[in-house]
Chain A
């Protein structure tokens, strides 16, 4: 049994719903009790879909359990087929139905409905949403291509036509999939490559039957599409283009891989990309120049923590480190399926990957690492908010704010522009940071001062569709927050230490050095966003030097010792 407060992923049948909802002419009959229909609101409210998800729920009740729940399934299947006339029908069960073992998939198969039935077995008590989505997509593709997969057809040559690829993995409730697909399509067009089928988002069953007619598959989101791409590769000898084009470097690598896999000349596009050049014309993205412009100097070495799904974390680590000059001090994922990739990535940056789906672990880590920017999910946004650290959202689980009205891709050259803005704006701007450091005692530069280009006070705005009902409350922080103790007796002219003044901690004299009133006052002149780090470094230094009472001198000695 696992104690959970919040969860990064829903159950696997929600993953199946994402596939059904992403496509046209696919319907999903879900054997589930009342209440499981809550999942509809993810689609209609978070993603603001203007249609209901194509899902029929059997809605069985306790009083049905002794009787014929199987009958309820067949009736729901028949009704769904009659009413919606789908071209393919997914049939599965939610966690509760899994326990009563009606095997709805087999029941539907036995009904001779004259359309492809895809029975789904998604183990709810061991797997989660993304796995469910990947498995559903794979089963759907496999079922629809069953005949062709047996035929062992030879790979068709290109015969003078333009090369074409499938874009696989985009889904509803994925992170910016809608715009990524548009951006990657544009990018491929600039290389002379057509998009044959984009799936599951925007596709219908007949499109999936055409998948093998493309020259390669682009695995846009490995969480969702890797299983399918591997199967297509094994079965139809279709190569997989696996570079995820998030970030300038990755986009360039993606173009190169497309060229290699499709044996086409991409130098026309790649040639315009000049590595290491400091000018506006050096890339199709503005990001390299913005990052090299002197205004961005203040980004150098900022400590970032990255958490999310595997795809976006691995991409974000590279961008943070190589393209924005941050220092990656920690990263991790909630996606166990992607743990290996994320661990390998962590190794590259000399950190240990945090593989967990417990947001309290993440919060503890963020607090301990004294980070200056968090790149994460909506969970991390809240964690960061509570710890007073800027944050940008890079991954699912999504929130209504992650489905913006404007064009806002993450992939390709435009995606890199979007990322530059999204990650840099939450931070203090360069000169503002300097002014805050220099004139720390300006009465308008209180600790609550946020960047002047943002709202000075976080507005108590609704957080989500239903959130008007329950306001976001700031409950007791549960982790060892890097809290600033109240400035105890700062005005006191005596040289007593803070610990003495507050009459605390007599029993631990040398383990934790105490702060003198002077030292504490000097510390308070350091801007709040780096003060935690200064405090920690100074205390570490004092402990190492055997200093019991931290004075102003100690503070500056530690500063000299550690550097910025």
Chain B
């Protein structure tokens, strides 16, 4: 591989901007939006998530959350029971009781999210109005917000989008028109710190992260706010922020060295950072990332990869793996395709990439088996069965829960894809 640095403004060859997309409808092997709570409650340490749903919701959360992490979590489920379904008046009183119980137990909580789930949506339990009432009663000690993480409306990472969107109306207004950067989408704390250092060296600021480490630290928004997206699943949040005057910076996501450079460059352009300064600041990190990637490229180059839809990270990951690791994309599935969020990614995908949206899992499994890719990215329910059919797999959920963004994680990200191949090469049993 050449050691030259990626050129930021290199035109994409072909791209998938207008490529046909296979749209499928059928059984989906994807989590619902409640799953976002698993990382959101860790990210925002003063927030509590109360799911209003069924035993299934509680069971999903504990199964998805590493099958059981037994610290007292900052989330819980108010399980609807027969008597709640009998009369609606009861439900609100019951919920008030449950919330009071929770707030008494957890005095450190400053923000309580009441999270709608499928059953509460179907019986049309109005969590929003109830949350507004509770908010009036408990603010400023506790802010009470609501959103839906139900499977009938949201898929896996969309839960975060709904959560952030619920916070948008409460962000303080930045009326001074000052240019400020807001990074949208949960990032690991360590990565936030890395990016903060880079932004500061580039002279980009003030910078805020949304969500912040404390739910009560709400970043200001207004005309002049420039949105840089850290995650490809915050579409509705972006639209709500745009409605409050913010401007979206189009960029690919900060996965891989090239992705990170393009991502930073979008902000740098908005701040009129001179090209030479940009190069000087990012060059050492780009070089480190190139060195780290070099180690893994050999194992991935030419290998064929298949993505089942899961986290919405599929497009940026596919772009990273094809452009920076030399992998061939067999099929790139995504739960839904939001063009506002994926414009820059689509442009960077190799022309002719097979894109699919939604899922009919049986048909997709048949395509996958027929193609027999070297590596398949899929959810936990599919991984072992595919392994048993001779396919090497990577759990997509691990990519959501691992720090993978930025220059200094580019090598780690590649390594996550190398590991299943490496393991398979080592084993003789």
Contact B401 A469 (CB under 8 A): yes
Cβ B152 vs Cβ A96 within 8 A? yes
| Interface pick from B4-12, B73-81, B213-221, B326-334 | B73-81
Q: Who on chain B is nearest to A128 by CB?
A: B55
Kindly identify which residue among B55, B76, B91 contacts A3, using a CB–CB cutoff of 8 Å.
Answer: B76
Question: What chain B residues lie within 8 Å of A125 (beta carbons)?
Answer: 54, 80-82, 84-85
Judge whether B64 and A38 touch: CB under 8 Å: yes
A475 to B75 alpha-carbon distance, docked (Å): 13
Which secondary structure dominates chain B's binding surface? helix
Identity of the chain A residue whose Cβ is nearest the Cβ of B59 in the assembled complex: A10
Report Cα–Cα, A510/B366, bound state, in Å.
76
Q: A38-B63, A44-B384, A50-B385 are in contact. Are A469 and B402 (CB under 8 A)?
A: yes
A residues in contact with B380, CB < 8 Å: 40-41, 44-45, 465-466
A50: contacting residue among B27, B29, B384, CB under 8 A: B384
Q: A470 — which chain B residues lie within 8 A by C-beta?
A: 38-39, 42, 65-66, 69, 401
A50's nearest neighbour on chain B, judged by CB, is B388
Min CB gap B347→A, angstroms: 29
B150 cross-chain contacts in A, Cβ below 8 A = 33, 35, 62
CA distance A35 to B33 in the complex (A): 8
Q: Which of A44, A59, A386 contacts B26 (CB 8 A)?
A: A59
Q: Please judge, given known A-B contacts A36-B151, A58-B27, whether A4 and B80 are in contact too, CB under 8 Å.
A: no
- Report if A287 contacts B (CB, 8 A): no
Within 8 A of A (CB), among B19-72: 26-35, 38-39, 42, 52-56, 58-60, 62-72
Write out the residue numbers on chain B whose beta carbons fall within 8 Å of the beta carbon of A478: 72, 105
B68 to chain A, nearest CB (A): 6
Q: How far apart are A228's CB and chain B's nearest CB, in angstroms?
A: 24
Min CB distance B69 to A, Å, is 5
CA distance A124 to B84 in the complex (A): 13
CB neighbours (8 Å) of A96 from chain B are 54, 56, 118-119, 122, 151-152
- Whether the Cβ atoms of A49 and B384 lie closer than 8 Å is yes
User: Could you tell me the distance in whole angstroms from the C-beta of B130 to the nearest C-beta in chain A?
Assistant: 13
Contact of B73 among A5, A37, A386 (CB under 8 A): A5
The residues of B that contact A49 with a CB separation of less than 8 Å are 384-385
A1-B81, A36-B56 known; A472 vs B95 contact (CB < 8 Å)? no
Give the nearest-CB partner of A51 in chain B.
B385
CB-CB nearest in chain A for B79: A2
- Whole-angstrom CA separation of A36 from B152 in the bound complex: 10
- B357 contacts the other chain (CB 8 A): no
Residue A378, interface by CB 8 Å: yes
CA distance A99 to B33 in the complex (A): 20
In the bound assembly, the distance between CA atoms of A51 and B32 in angstroms comes to 22
Name which of A33, A76, A99, A386 has the most chain B CB atoms within 10 A of its CB: A33
Given A35-B151, A475-B72, do A400 and B56 touch, yes or no (CB 8 Å)?
A: no
Contacts of B66 in A (CB 8 A): 463-470, 472
Question: A5, A52, A94, A386: which contacts B56 (Cβ < 8 A)?
Answer: A94
Kindly identify which residue among A3, A4, A5 contacts B72, using a CB–CB cutoff of 8 Å.
Answer: A5
Q: Which residues of A contact B42 (CB under 8 A)?
A: 470
Q: Which residue of the partner chain, among A51, A62, A399, contacts B68 with CB atoms under 8 Å?
A: A399
B140: interface (CB < 8 Å): no
Q: How far is the CA of A463 from the CA of B69 in the complex (A)?
A: 8
Q: Is the CB of A37 within 8 A of B30?
A: yes
Q: A34: which B residues are within 8 A, CB to CB?
A: 28, 30, 32, 151-152, 155
Chain B residues lying within 8 Å of A36, measured Cβ to Cβ, are 32, 56, 60, 151
**Smallest distance from the beta carbon of A133 to chain B beta carbons, Å?**
14
Map CB proximity to B onto A60-73 as digits: 1 under 8 Å, 0 otherwise. 11100100000000
Q: Give complex CA distance A460, B385 in Å.
A: 28
B211 to chain A, nearest CB (A): 17
A379 within 8 A of B: yes
Q: A4-B77, A125-B54 are in contact. Are A48 and B384 (CB under 8 A)?
A: yes
With A44-B383, A59-B26 as known contacts, state yes or no: A382 contacts B55, CB within 8 Å. no
B60, A467: Cβ atoms closer than 8 Å = no
Closest 8 CB pairs of A and B: A35-B32, A35-B151, A40-B381, A475-B71, A467-B66, A382-B70, A469-B401, A464-B67
Can you list 17 residue pairs at the A/B interface with Cβ under 8 Å? A1-B97, A1-B98, A6-B58, A7-B55, A7-B62, A49-B385, A52-B381, A65-B152, A79-B362, A95-B55, A96-B119, A99-B123, A382-B68, A463-B69, A464-B68, A466-B64, A469-B401
